Each structure stands twice: as C-alpha cells, then as structure tokens.
C-alpha cells in the first residue's frame, strides 16, 4: 500500500535554525515552502543557544526565544521545536547540531538544512564545510535585501529556491516594539501577545 511505502521510505526532515528573537512570518513561510518543495515529512525549528556571531548581551534569553518558537509553530502538525542547542553548554555551532540530529535519527534519514540567503552566504566561512555537506543537504531561500549566487558552493549539496518574499527581520521587529510601532501581521498573533505580556524588547538597543 502507499501508506506502507511512505512508512518505509527514508524520512525527510527539514532543520530550520535561527535565533528567533522573535520568530516572524519570514521564517515560517520559508520553512513551509521548503517543506512543500522538498516533500519533507517534518521541519524541526532549532533556536540557537548562544549564537557565536551575535553579541550575547543583546540576545533575548533562550527560554523566551524557545517559547515564542513553540507558540508560533504549535498549530502546524509538520512543525516541531528542538531544545538541542539551547540545552547544550557553550557557544552554538551548527555542525554539532547536525551531528547530534544525525545520531538521533540514524543514517536512513535525509536532513535538509534550511537557511535564508544571508545565512547561506556565511556557510562558506564555517569550519568543516565538507562534513557539513555530508550531514545535510543545504537549502538557501531568497530573502529581500540579500542576493543569492551559487558561486563557490559544492554542486548537488546546495539548492537555491524561491520562496514568497517577505521583507521582515527580527531586528526590525525588535526596533518597532522599542519605538511603540505595531508588529501585528509581521509575526503570528500569539507572538505579539507574548511580547506584550512579557515586555520583551521595550528597552532593547
Ligand atoms: P536578526 O535580524 O536578529 O538577524 P533574522 O530576521 O535574520 O533576525 P534569524 O533568526 O537570524 O532571523 O534567521 C534564522 C534563519 O531564517 C536564517 O537562515 C535567515 O536567513 C532566515 N530568514 C530570516 N528572515 C527571513 C526572511 N524574511 N525570508 C527568508 N529567510 C529568512
Ligand atoms: Mg539574521
């Protein structure tokens, strides 16, 4: 039967890493579109613990970012959230996460690491690029304000895809909250309410 076939097929799992400070509709549309384009069974959102590229003092507590990610993804049965990075000690490196997920799921799973154009551009500067590409297929999504070119990226290891373009960033959402401007419709309703309830970003720089 086709149900049986589906059960025996290797599972295809998307990994959406991010600081999610806060999670917004740009993240959610990218994950949803890549899930559709690559026939993914599920997408796991992985909030970063201590993003090594970002100034720690300016990043919201991992617990708030984790909870917002859970709130934003709760209604979608294909989406889940992992604590793998926020529970790990020390700075966050994507390669540790991919190794751990690969150990967790076993060799028969196919991993798809989903990034926006800006983040994909930074991949080339990461350590162990060859091992990264062995662990997962990389999917780069267009993002307004960032150009994606395929120069220098290994053949067959990276796909560049078009997702509906949403010019939304977490930085801009934080800035809008600080200035008293609305973030309705840039982030899910539950995220607006969580930010209001907790007073997040009111005095953030
Ligand atoms: P910040 O402004 O704080 O850097 P951000 O909006 O870039 O936040 P991140 O958590 O840094 O959000 O991004 C997580 C991942 O989602 C990255 O791969 C990033 O490129 C991607 N991404 C973020 N916003 C968009 C968007 N509007 N469209 C497509 N991809 C996006
Ligand atoms: Mg960013």
pLDDT tens, residue by residue, 103-130: 988 888 999 999 998 888 777 677 678 8
User: Is the C-beta atom of 143 inside 6 A of ligand 1?
Assistant: yes
Whether 197 is in a domain gets the answer no
CA of 119 to the centre of ligand 2 (A): 7
- The b/e string for 26-58 (b: 16+ C-beta within 10 A; e otherwise) is bbbbbbbbbbeebebeebbbbbbbbbeeeeeee
User: Which residue's CA is the nearest one to ligand 1's atom 12?
Assistant: 170
pTM of the predicted model, to two decimals?
0.92
Atom of ligand 1 nearest to the CA of 166: 27
Q: For ligand 1, say whether the CB of 47 is within 6 Å of any of its atoms.
A: no
Q: Establish if 6 belongs to a structural domain.
A: yes
- Tell me, in angstroms, the distance from the centre of ligand 1 to residue 27's CA: 6
Report if residue 119 sits inside a domain: yes
CB 173 within 8 A of CB 24: yes
Residue 176 lies in a domain: no
Task: Report how far residue 33's alpha carbon sits from residue 168's, in angstroms, rounded to the nearest whole number.
Answer: 16
Q: To which residue do tokens 């959230």 refer? A: 81
Using DSSP bridges, classify how beta strands 42-47 and 110-116 pair: parallel, antiparallel or unpaired.
unpaired
Confidence of residue 1 (pLDDT cuts 50, 70, 90): very low
* pLDDT tens, residue by residue, 170-184: 999 999 999 999 999
ipTM score for this prediction: 0.99
Q: Identify whether 170 is part of a domain.
A: no
For residue 32, give its domain range.
Answer: 2-165
**Any domain includes 95:** yes
- Least Cα distance to 31 among 164, 196, 181 occurs for 164
169 close to ligand 1 (CB < 6 Angstrom) = yes
| Residue percentage of the chain with pLDDT more than 70 | 85
Task: Give the span between the Cα atoms of 120 and 126, in whole angstroms.
Answer: 10
188, part of any domain: no
Instruction: Classify residue 179: in a domain, yes or no.
Output: no
Q: Is the pLDDT of residue 92 over 60?
A: yes
CATH number at residue 17: 3.40.50.620
Does residue 59 have its Cβ closer than 6 Å to ligand 1? no
Q: How many structural domains compose the chain?
A: 1
Share of the chain above pLDDT 90, in %: 65
The Å distance, Cα 4 to ligand 2 centre, comes to: 40
């Amino acid at each position: 039967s086709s149900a049986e076939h589906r059960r025996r097929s290797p599972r295809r799992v998307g990994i959406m890493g991010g600081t999610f400070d806060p999670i917004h509709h740009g993240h959610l549309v990218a994950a949803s579109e890549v899930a559709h384009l690559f026939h993914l069974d599920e997408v796991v959102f992985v909030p970063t613990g201590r993003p090594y590229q970002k100034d720690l003092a300016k990043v919201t507590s991992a617990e708030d970012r984790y909870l917002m990610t859970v709130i934003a993804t709760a209604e979608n049965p294909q989406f889940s959230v992992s604590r793998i990075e926020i529970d790990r000690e020390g700075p966050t490196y994507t390669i540790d996460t991919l190794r751990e997920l690969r150990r967790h799921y076993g060799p028969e799973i196919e991993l798809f690491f989903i990034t926006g154009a800006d983040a994909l551009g930074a991949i080339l500067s990461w350590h162990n690029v060859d091992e990264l590409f062995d662990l997962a297929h990389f999917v780069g999504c267009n993002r307004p304000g960032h150009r994606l070119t395929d120069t220098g990226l290994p053949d067959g290891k990276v796909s560049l895809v078009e997702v509906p373009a949403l010019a939304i960033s977490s930085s801009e959402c934080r800035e809008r909250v600080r200035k008293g401007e609305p973030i309705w419709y840039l982030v899910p309703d539950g995220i607006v309410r969580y930010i209001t309830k907790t007073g997040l970003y009111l005095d953030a720089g």
